[in-house]
A and B are shown apart, each in its own frame.
Chain A
Amino acid sequence: MSDAGVLSSLTAAPGSAAAAIASLGQVMFLGAALVFLIVTVLALAGVWTRAYAIDGRRWLVFGGLALPSVTLAALFVHAAPLDMSAPGPDHPDLPRIEVIGRQWWWEVRYGGANDTERSFVTANELRIPVGRPVSVALTSADVIHGFWVPALAGKVDMIPGRTNRIVLRSDAVQVYRGQCAEYCGGQHGLMAFTVVATSPADFEQWLATQVQPARVDDGFVRGYALFDRAGCPACHSIRGTMAAGTSGPDLTHVGSRRMLAAGTLRNHIGTMTGWISGAEDLKPGSGMPADRTLNGAELRTLAAWLLALQ
């Protein structure tokens, strides 16, 4: 699963909210196990020892009041700071990141109106710099979705007309997989995404590349002509071209993404070819019609061109 990324809250990223939740879970589990053990020993002792008079008041005060108070207070002191890991304001050094849930993919916006120099739209893949808490704004364009990267943080709902926030942080260079965690329709199960935690230098490099319009190389004219003939611009945008559709993912740098079709397929020439001409078989209801306009060689050319959009 190295392409798809880590998808487990048991392998929480160092420095992440998921790691804090995992450690809290372990402390709670051990605490509960200890209490269970003590109660069991006492219960068995009650069965196996001969009856004798006990000091009811002492048991009541120590066992019923003092012990639970101390235990619960200790757990509260441990847990309270973790609970306060609520998102802070956006960090000025980092571009604003917004993720919009759509049936069944993720629109990802960096920058925004006040940060046009770092403003771009991408899809199904987020990048974050290592060791920095990154606040992500979450909303939905249609139904309620759930944003969940198990190895990084808890789940947050994406609700139409409302913006929720989540903080992502990873102290390790790693690829994580996220998944929609709120049933959102037929292809809910194939609505996944990738979070790539990179070094700050690689992150800046990635931002600088993503802001650029599509790469123009020798294959551009032929590739775009096929893209246009197959009708792709009706739904997809490629910055720097006439393609400005908005109902499907932005494809300006689609070749740079690790996965295709919201985490459904690894991204390479074989899957790109199959997805372009057979999306409805692979993800029924995705709304992407099977292409019937291109011949075999043209299909391969189009797929290769899209992959070259790095």
Chain B
Amino acid sequence: MLLLVPLVFAWAACSRDDTGRAPRDEVAEGRAIIITKECGACHVIPNVPAAWGRVGPTLAGFRGRVYLAGRIPNTPDELERWLLDPPRLVPGTAMPNLNLAEHEVRAVAAYLYTLQ
């Protein structure tokens, strides 16, 4: 019975909403989009196959990254704006506009914020 106590706490911790985590479906969809769009051509991305690129920064630990492209605060809103059209936010960036739809951008952001 005592063994169950930490499990219950763990469950309570998981089901709390204040972690800002996205639903699991959205995270999985985001990962699928990252794989299909082959973001790994430019970025190292944890748990994504063949993501070896070093043209852009590694996305490992992305949740803790403070600035996007070295200048935009890394908040969910800014990240979505960035992913929708990077050159509009930072004209000199090497990252092109990948023509992602808004729901795709949300899903990709959801996955990126799982990278601790």
Contact = CB atoms under 8 A, between A and B. Distances in A.
Interface in A259-310: 265-266, 268-271, 273-275, 277-278, 281-282, 295-297, 299-300, 303-304
Contacts of A278: 41-42, 53-55
A297 B91 contact: yes
The A contact surface, by secondary structure, is helix
Interface in B68-115: 87, 91-99
Contacts of A282: 41, 50, 52-53
A270 B42 contact: yes
Nearest to B69: A296
Interface string A87-102: 0000000000000000
Contact of B42 (A266, A268, A274, A297): A274
A265 B54 CA distance: 16
Given A274-B53, A278-B54, A300 B96 contact: yes
Main secondary structure of the interface of B (DSSP, over half): loop
Interface in B1-55: 36-39, 41-42, 50, 52-55
Q: How large is the interface on B (under 10, 10 to 19, 20 to 34, 35 or more residues)?
A: 20 to 34
Contacts of A269: 96-99
A281 B58 CA distance: 13
18 contacts: A265-B38, A266-B36, A269-B96, A269-B98, A270-B41, A270-B98, A271-B38, A273-B55, A273-B94, A274-B42, A274-B55, A278-B41, A278-B53, A281-B53, A281-B55, A297-B93, A300-B87, A300-B96
Interface of A: 265-266, 268-271, 273-275, 277-278, 281-282, 295-297, 299-300, 303-304
Interface of B: 36-39, 41-42, 50, 52-55, 87, 91-99
